[in-house]
Structure 1
Amino acid sequence: MVRHLFRLIWNRKRSNVLLLSEIFFSFVVLFGVATLLFNFGRNYVQPFGFNHDNVWRLTIAAGQGEKCRAHRLDDVLRQVRALPGVQEIALTSFNTPFRFSTMNDDFARGTKKLSRVDRYDADDQYGPLFGLKLREGRWFNASDDAATRPLAVISQDTREALFGPGEPAVGKLFRTNHQFGGDAPKEYQVVGVVDKVRMGGDFAAPTPSVWVRLTAHDTTSWESATVLVRVAPGQGARLQQRIVHTVAGLTRQWSTQVYALENDRLDKLKPTLAPLIALAVVGIFLVVNVALGLFGVLWYNISQRRAEIGLRRALGATGPGIGRQFLGEVLVLTTLGVLAGSLLAVQFPLLGAFEIEPSVYLMAMLLATGIIYVLAAGCAWQPSRLAAAIQPAVALREE
Structure 2
Amino acid sequence: MLRHLLKLIWKRKGRNMMLSLEILLAFMVVFAIAAFGLRYWQLYQLPVGHNWRAQWAVGMQSPTMQLPNDAALYDNIRRSLLAMPEVESVAFSAFATYDMTRWTEDYTLPDGSAKLTIDGMAVSDDYFATMDMRLAAGRFFSAIDDGADAVPVVINRKLAEYWFLGKNPVGQLFLLPREKEAPVRYRVVGVVEQFRSHGEYADPVYFMLQRWVPGVGKEAADFIMLKMKPGTPRVFEARLSARLKQVRGDWTYLVWPLSDARESMLRTQMLPLLILSVIAAFLLVMVAFGLFGVLWQNTTQRIPEIGLRRALGADAGHIYRQIAAEQMLLSSGAMLIALVLLVQLPLTGVLGDSLNWPVFVGAVALSAGVIYLLSLLCSLYPGWRAARLSPTQALHYE
Closer, same or farther: CA 148–11 of 1 in aligned 2, 3 Å: same
1:367 aligns to what? 366
2:163 aligns to what? 162
Q: Secondary structure at the match of 1:59?
A: strand
Counterpart-to-counterpart distance in 2, 1:255 and 1:385: 71
Q: Alignment length, in residue pairs?
A: 393
Q: Secondary structure at the match of 1:258?
A: strand
1:132: how far off? 1.2
2:297 aligns to what? 300
Closer, same or farther: CA 394–202 of 1 in aligned 2, 3 Å: same
Is residue 70–residue 214 contact of structure 2 (8 Å, CA) maintained in 1? no
Written as runs of structure 1 = structure 2, the 5 A alignment for 1:206-355 is 206-218=204-216, 220-222=218-220, 225-236=222-233, 239-355=236-352
1:288: how far off? 3.0
Is residue 61–residue 67 contact of structure 2 (8 Å, CA) maintained in 1? no
1:182: how far off? 7.8
Paired residue type of 1:35 = A
Q: Secondary structure at the match of 2:253?
A: strand
Is residue 68–residue 225 contact of structure 1 (8 Å, CA) maintained in 2? no
Paired residue type of 2:160 = R
Bigger shift: residues 25-34 or 388-397: 388-397
- Where in structure 1 are there 5+ consecutive unaligned residues? none
Query: Are 2:95 and 1:98 aligned?
Result: no
TM-score of the superposed pair, with normalisation by structure 2 = 0.90
Counterpart-to-counterpart distance in 2, 1:262 and 1:318: 63
1:358 aligns to what? 357
1:83: how far off? 2.0
The CA RMSD measured in Å over matched residues stands at 2.4
Query: Are 2:386 and 1:387 aligned?
Result: yes
Closer, same or farther: CA 254–392 of 1 in aligned 2, 3 Å: closer
- Where in structure 2 are there 5+ consecutive unaligned residues? none
Written as runs of structure 1 = structure 2, the 5 A alignment for 1:95-244 is 95-109=95-109, 111-115=113-117, 117-164=118-165, 166-176=166-176, 185-218=183-216, 220-222=218-220, 225-236=222-233, 239-244=236-241
Bigger shift: residues 106-115 or 342-351: 106-115
Is residue 132–residue 195 contact of structure 1 (8 Å, CA) maintained in 2? no
Closer, same or farther: CA 287–31 of 1 in aligned 2, 3 Å: same
Measured against aligned partners, the alpha-carbon deviations of 1:142-162 in whole angstroms (never above 9, x if no partner) come to 111131111110011111222
Counterpart-to-counterpart distance in 2, 1:242 and 1:329: 71
Q: Secondary structure at the match of 1:152?
A: strand
2:14 aligns to what? 14
Q: Secondary structure at the match of 2:108?
A: strand
Quote the sequence identity (%).
Answer: 33
1:367: how far off? 0.8
Counterpart-to-counterpart distance in 2, 1:66 and 1:22: 58
1:79 aligns to what? 80
Paired residue type of 2:369 = G
Is residue 112–residue 161 contact of structure 1 (8 Å, CA) maintained in 2? no
Paired residue type of 1:173 = L
Counterpart-to-counterpart distance in 2, 1:241 and 1:169: 44
1:258: how far off? 2.1
